[in-house]
Amino acid sequence: MRIAIIGTGKMGKAVTTLAEERGHAIHTIVHRTENAGGRALTRERLDGADVAVEFTRPDAVVTNLERLIGLGIPIVTGTTGWGEELPRITSLADQRGAALLHAANFSVGVHLFFRAALDLARAFHGRSEFNVSIFEEHHQTKLDAPSGTALLLQHRLWAEEPGRKFPISASRAGDSPGTHTLRYEGQYETVTLTHVALNRQVFAAGALSAAEWLPGHTGVFTFEQMLFGSAA
């Protein structure tokens, strides 16, 4: 496969390395300095790419997606912090018959964690003697807080128990690739469920699997839909 890499930060580099290890060709690599307003994403530059993998920043992703949708290139994006634009981008992609797969988290384990979290929420449903909270921790350079993963977990938990608050607290320090905890605290006992990403490679591997899967599909997909056929 010929892959265009958009963004050369920690994730862009990790995906590039893994793609080459898996025998894919890197069609082009697009850096921030040449891509103000998405101007490097041209037909000439992208012609021949089978898929684009986009890991940039919340203030750049939407323009990049608009440009790539316009060019008809299948897109995998893992950039977080643009959820309010998702409905507009989804309808643009649908109008153009584009292929877009987005995920706030490309770890398979985190999506299994979501399923376990919903089971836990069902068990604690209505037990107001327990205080429930979500805690997430990421490296100090992560720009958005709370994480897209924590927000998605909160959304799923609200659907499971409407009316209950699932407050999120976030920490930005050190080099943690991402830790998410769901905690039920009683007066004398605590139940916690935690997912810990040990290394960014887990996200790069998931994004690359998505890039291998997406070409040939039409529509807007989540990583969960790719993994399980539906959301939790």
Confirm or reject binding of residue 9 to ligand NAP (CB under 6 A). Answer: yes
Nearer to ligand NAP, 27 or 142 (CB): 142
Instruction: Let me know if 142 is a catalytic residue.
Output: yes
Q: How many residues comprise the chain?
A: 232
Confirm or reject binding of residue 142 to ligand NAP (CB under 6 A). Answer: yes
Site for ligand NAP in 85-104 (CB under 6 A): 103-104
Distance CA 111, CA 232 (A): 8
Which residue in the list 24, 27, 102, 138 is annotated as catalytic? 138
Q: How far apart are the first and last CA of the chain?
A: 30
Which residue in the list 27, 142, 180, 195 is annotated as catalytic? 142
Confirm or reject binding of residue 146 to ligand NAP (CB under 6 A). Answer: no
Distance CA 67, CA 80 (A): 18
Instruction: Let me know if 138 is a catalytic residue.
Output: yes
The DSSP code sequence of 160-226 is HSTT----EEEEE-TT-S-EEEEEEE-SS-EEEEEEE---THHHHHHHHHHHHHSTT--EEEEHHHH
Confirm or reject binding of residue 135 to ligand NAP (CB under 6 A). Answer: no
Non-local (6+) Cβ contacts of 145 within 8 A are 138, 170, 172
Among 1, 18, 26, 32, which residue sits at the site for ligand NAP (rule: CB under 6 A)? 32
Residues serving a catalytic function are 138, 142
- Interface residues with ligand NAP (CB under 6 A)? 6-12, 30-32, 35, 55-57, 60, 78-81, 103-106, 141-142, 203
